[in-house]
Amino acid sequence: MAGSFLPMRLVHLAPLLWLASVAPLAAQVPSDTGSATALSTADLAATERLFVSQCARCHGMGGTGGIAPAFRQPKLRRAPTDDALVQIILNGIPGTAMAGFWNLSEEEAQEITAYVRSLGRLPPEVVPGDPACGRELYQKTGTCATCHILAGEGAGWAPDLTDVGRRLNAAFLRQALVEPGANQPVLPLPSVHGPYPAYLVIEVTTGAGKTLRGTRVSEDDFTLVLRADDGRLHSLDKFSLKGFRKLPGQSPMPNFASAFSSEQLDDLIAYLASLKGEP
Amino acid sequence: MRRLFLTATLAAVALPLLAQVPDARLRDARREPANWLTYSGDFGAQRYSPLSQITPANVGSLRPAWVYQATEAGAMQASPLVVDGVMYLTEFRGHVVALDARSGRVLWRYQQTLPAKLLTLGFGPTNRGIAVLDSTVFVGTADARLVALDARSGAVRWTVPVADNALGYAITAAPLAFGDLVIVGISGAEAGIRGFLDAYDARTGERRWRFYTIPAPGEPGSESWGGDAWKTGGGSTWVTGSYDPALNLVYWGVGNPGPDWNGDLRPGDNLYTCALVALDATTGQLRWHFQFTPHDTHDWDASQIPVLFDGKFKGQPRKFVAMANRNGFYYLLDRVTGEFLLGEPYIRQDWAEGLDAKGRPIFRPNIEPTEGGTPLTPNLHGATNWYSPAFSPRTGLLYVASRQMGSRYFKAPVSYTPGRFFMGGGETEFGGDTAQGAVQALDPMTGKARWRFPLFSPPWAGLLATGGGLVFGGTNEGVFFSLDAASGRPLWHFQTGAMIQANPVSYAIADRQYVAVAAGGTLQVFSLVEPKAGPKP
């Protein structure tokens, strides 16, 4: 079956299995269990497999983060309590890419919760670089804030960076800076055919023969809403267009690989990784 | 004004008489196009409305007539029924609602009570529709019961257990009612159930027969299973089938074997999974079967609509059953004998070289899921899925909403625990902008596409063909659209505001044709702005 729908997410995510080195991670998990649900070592291995199959695709192996937040933090903003986390696992977070996992029993959600809490007790990721220097770079290069918003400052059409350190790990941030086209961000919109790329660059020729290039804000079979390079929105009837070209691998984000020294990149990443938003 | 008054009067008169739907009316459903009496519109499951008021010339002025907002949160996947001015609809979690089909006003609502501990492994507590017979409405429940409601009030006539939800059995499909029987399919192959198809006495709820889709040792077909694998062999019957009253045969698609992706535990062809079965409607005895995907390891259920129509094949008159299958091939069979007549791929698939003379796939090497992952097309959701195709007797074309998407299939060790997933792997799909969909008009006699309308993403909505020469469909992005049935040219579209994962229907009240489709938690109903623009339906 499994075609039946939404919980499909299970099936999308069921993939990675336990291919990766799961055992070493299990060994790292502290044995003290302050969490409401205690896990024996055997349970832990089973739960870890569940985590790998259901959560790791977005949250990273061992909860190190990816397109979704890392779990190696003592407090999870949206899940102050274990019950809150269980509810998020089962019902999702409206308005985000986090869908509910109907395929999991409440018991399994509790087991995953205990596992996620155990990840929160691991030492945080070590990021080389000086956040203070990174902050200066962010503010003084002058280009970041022309697209990004941070604590209410700057332009808001590119991703909000206010709590980016809570959502994305250092490796992801580095790739975004030095290889911006490689890791296409995904829209926090419900999607039923896998992640829906955000900020996809599209070039169109209008019925009047004008060429427009910009990033996709929204698209279906009949409509394309494009944010042109000048920042203006264009609502286009696709059937009236003379040309239409998707340019995957391109990004409106400039490549900073050569703009910064490797030390400066470390500093900037350290700064971004330190951005946790409101406590 | 006069017309409006007349309509209102008719509706007022019609209401007390509603839902007297004897078997004779269901058999001749096509003769009363104002109604939509079965899940697929008629026993042949063509999802075709002869109504012709809305045409390619005037569909541009199709506008919302009314919207029903479900009380239960969650997307509606149901295909409504319309009987003499009353619409019957199921919401998410299987609540049933009766609406005035002209205005959308609620007449009654049956609140489904589901246990707090509910198993719907591999799907949610969705519900795809109901059946009506005489003055009773039948609905299956997510905890695997069958409920009969009085069509006039929604009061319960009887409720019977069909199977044990604690083992993963559930009902999502609309039942099929005819004669004095209600046929009910079951879901749950991802939990390692042993699938079946049941028939119940429509008056009493007593079970008349059960056909197990997985034969027990000693029964024909049991040689296609190894050891005890048959006990957890899957084979759900989760999409409503079709019925030929003249042959007294029920046609029903059977789902995937269990476990899904690890076939090591079940050597053999695994009958009757991924097959079409033709059953004697009176006894439930198997008349014939045709297996599309022997020993499936990619979750390619044959849970599509078996469409019935008649015609000539190589000059000989035949009774056909056609299925655009999840595995990527279109099949044409003789529905009297089950003889394979034709099979053609209708998407770009890469798992089979083709079909042999008997319709059995010629497998390519190295297509099995592996620990490291095997890329293959189609993905587990297939070239199409549970949502309906449409067949127009007017154009002679079969319209299919198809999916072009691959994935990487994984295999994992698996053992059976009652009430838990029993799948043995998974997949990572190649989604985003690399995946597409299409509405295709297949020539049913060749399997070749006459035209193809591309879709932005692989769809989850079915199609409706109409006597006005239109095909209606929906998209993941929420667009309800109409195409010219002859050419595939897009003629009209409307943003409904939510993903469409349901099948459209059409009906008429007084002199007005309506088209209805569920989108998200709403049912949206459309009619022409100016009904005088077209001929009477």
Interface of A with B (CB under 8 A): 1-8, 10-19, 53, 57, 102-103, 105-106, 184, 186, 190-197, 200, 219-223, 239, 246, 248
Q: What is the dihedral of CA A265, A271, A273, A278, to 10 degrees?
A: -160
Residue B268 has pLDDT above 90, yes or no: yes
Are residue A138 and residue A213 in the same domain, yes or no? no
Relative to beta strand B96-100, strand A211-219 is: unpaired
Considering the domain boundaries, does residue A46 fall inside one?
Answer: yes
Higher pLDDT, A142 or B438: B438
Which of B113, B125, B34 is closest to B81 using CA atoms? B34
**Model pLDDT, residue A42:** 65
Q: What is the mean pLDDT of chain A?
A: 78
Residue A21 has pLDDT above 50, yes or no: no
Give the domain range for residue A234. Answer: 201-246
Indicate which of B384, B433, B453, B484 best probes the interface with A, i.e. most A CBs within 10 Å of its own CB: B433
In DSSP terms, B226 is beta-bridged to none
State yes or no: is B299 an active-site residue: yes
A–B interface: beta-carbon pairs under 8 A: 153
**Model pLDDT, residue B13:** 44
Residues B439/B463, Cβ–Cβ less than 8 Å: yes
**What's B428's DSSP letter?**
E
Residue A243 has pLDDT above 80, yes or no: yes
**Model pLDDT, residue B6:** 39
Compute the distance between CA of residue A72 and CA of residue A116 in angstroms, rounded to an integer.
8
Helix (H, G, I), strand (E, B) or coil at B166: helix
Hey, which residues 379-398 in chain B have their CB within 8 Å of chain A?
Answer: 380-382, 385-386
Considering the domain boundaries, does residue A1 fall inside one?
Answer: no
> Could you report how far apart the first and last alpha carbons of chain B are, in Å?
20
CA atoms within 13 A on the CB side of B12: 6
Are residue A92 and residue A115 in the same domain, yes or no? yes
Q: Cβ contact (<8 Å) for B380 and A10?
A: no
The stretches of chain A forming alpha helices (DSSP H) are 8-13, 22-28, 41-54, 56-59, 82-91, 106-120, 131-141, 164-167, 170-178, 262-274
Residue A11 has pLDDT above 80, yes or no: no
CA atoms within 13 A on the CB side of B207: 14
Q: What is the ipTM of this complex?
A: 0.80
Decide if B412 touches A, using CB distance below 8 A.
yes
Q: What is the mean pLDDT of chain B?
A: 94
Q: Cβ contact (<8 Å) for B190 and A220?
A: no
Residue A45 has pLDDT above 90, yes or no: no
Tell me the average pLDDT across A209-219. Answer: 91
**Model pLDDT, residue B282:** 98
User: A184: nearest CA in chain B?
Assistant: B432
Are residue A258 and residue A168 in the same domain, yes or no? yes
Are residue A167 and residue A211 in the same domain, yes or no? no
Percent of chain B residues topping a pLDDT of 70: 95
State which of A138-142, A213-217, B48-52 shows the largest mean pLDDT.
Answer: B48-52
Contacts of A194 in chain B (CB under 8 A): 429-432, 435
Q: How many domains does chain A have?
A: 3
**Model pLDDT, residue A7:** 32
Hey, which residues 76-95 in chain B have their CB within 8 Å of chain A?
Answer: 77
Are residue A96 and residue A19 in the same domain, yes or no? yes
Helix (H, G, I), strand (E, B) or coil at A41: helix
Q: Can you give the CATH number for the domain in which A81 is found?
A: 1.10.760.10
CB-nearest partner of A3 from B301, B455, B478: B301
Query: With bands split at pLDDT 50, 70 and 90, how would you rate the model's confidence at A38?
Result: low
Are residue A48 and residue A116 in the same domain, yes or no? yes
Percent of chain A residues topping a pLDDT of 90: 32
Residue A28 has pLDDT above 80, yes or no: no
Indicate which of A192, A221, A238, A239 best probes the interface with B, i.e. most B CBs within 10 Å of its own CB: A221
Contacts of B144 in chain A (CB under 8 A): none
Q: Mind listing the pLDDT tens digit for each residue in B79-113?
A: 999 999 999 999 999 999 999 999 999 999 999 99
Tell me the average pLDDT across B461-485. Answer: 97
Domain boundary among A88, A120, A152: A120
Tell me the average pLDDT across B369-380. Answer: 92
Distance from CA of A121 to the nearest CA of B (A): 30
For residue B462, give both structure tokens: 């079915």
Lowest mean pLDDT: which of A104-108, B23-27, B428-432, B530-534?
B530-534
Helix (H, G, I), strand (E, B) or coil at B338: coil
**Model pLDDT, residue A276:** 86
Are residue A28 and residue A159 in the same domain, yes or no? no
Q: Which H or E element spans position B2? A: helix B2-14
Are residue A98 and residue A16 in the same domain, yes or no? yes
Residue A145 has pLDDT above 80, yes or no: yes
Compute the distance between CA of residue B246 and CA of residue B94 in angstroms, rounded to an integer.
32
Higher pLDDT, B338 or B434: B338
Q: Cβ contact (<8 Å) for A193 and B479?
A: no
Are residue A265 and residue A161 in the same domain, yes or no? yes
Higher pLDDT, B204 or A33: B204
Are residue A115 and residue A47 in the same domain, yes or no? yes
Considering the domain boundaries, does residue A212 fall inside one?
Answer: yes
Question: Of B42, B299, B301, B484, which one is the catalytic site residue?
Answer: B299
Tell me the average pLDDT across B474-480. Answer: 95
Residue B412 has pLDDT above 90, yes or no: no
CATH for B2-533 is 2.140.10.10
**Model pLDDT, residue A39:** 58
Residue A19 has pLDDT above 70, yes or no: no
CB-nearest partner of B479 from A10, A195, A221: A221
Distance from CA of B399 to the nearest CA of A (A): 18
Q: Cβ contact (<8 Å) for A18 and B120?
A: no
Cβ contacts of A111 within 8 Å, gap of 6 or more: A37, A39, A43, A46, A47, A50
Residue A119 has pLDDT above 80, yes or no: yes
Query: With bands split at pLDDT 50, 70 and 90, how would you rate the model's confidence at B473?
Result: very high
**Model pLDDT, residue B535:** 65
Residues A70/A122, Cβ–Cβ less than 8 Å: no
User: B383: nearest CA in chain A?
Assistant: A3
Q: Mind listing the pLDDT tens digit for each residue in A218-240?
A: 888 999 999 988 888 999 999 99
Distance from CA of B473 to the nearest CA of A (A): 12
**Model pLDDT, residue B152:** 93
Contacts of B126 in chain A (CB under 8 A): 4-5
**Model pLDDT, residue B309:** 98
Question: Quick one: how many helices (H) and strands (E) in chain B?
Answer: 2, 38
Considering the domain boundaries, does residue A3 fall inside one?
Answer: no
Residue B315 has pLDDT above 50, yes or no: yes
CB-nearest partner of A15 from B256, B260, B426: B426
Distance from CA of A10 to the nearest CA of B (A): 7
Residue A9 has pLDDT above 50, yes or no: no
Contacts of B382 in chain A (CB under 8 A): 3
Residue A17 has pLDDT above 50, yes or no: no
Residue A5 has pLDDT above 60, yes or no: no
Distance from CA of A234 to the nearest CA of B (A): 18
Query: With bands split at pLDDT 50, 70 and 90, how would you rate the model's confidence at A10?
Result: very low
Question: Tokens 């000989």 identify what position?
Answer: B316
**Model pLDDT, residue A58:** 79
Residues B285/B279, Cβ–Cβ less than 8 Å: yes
Lowest mean pLDDT: which of A95-99, A127-131, A193-197, B441-445?
A193-197
Contacts of B427 in chain A (CB under 8 A): 11-12, 14-15
Strands (E), B111-170: 131-133, 136-140, 145-150, 156-161
Query: With bands split at pLDDT 50, 70 and 90, how would you rate the model's confidence at B50?
Result: very high
For residue B371, give both structure tokens: 């620990």
CB-nearest partner of A1 from B187, B433, B477: B187
Q: Which H or E element spans position B24? A: helix B23-27
Are residue A159 and residue A257 in the same domain, yes or no? yes
Query: With bands split at pLDDT 50, 70 and 90, how would you rate the model's confidence at A6?
Result: very low
For residue B533, give both structure tokens: 């623009």
For the whole model, what pTM was predicted?
0.85
**Model pLDDT, residue A31:** 34
Are residue A270 and residue A145 in the same domain, yes or no? yes
Percent of chain B residues topping a pLDDT of 90: 89
Q: Mind listing the pLDDT tens digit for each residue in A71-103?
A: 888 888 889 999 999 999 988 887 777 877 766
Compute the distance between CA of residue B90 and CA of residue B140 in angstroms, rounded to an integer.
10
Considering the domain boundaries, does residue A194 fall inside one?
Answer: no
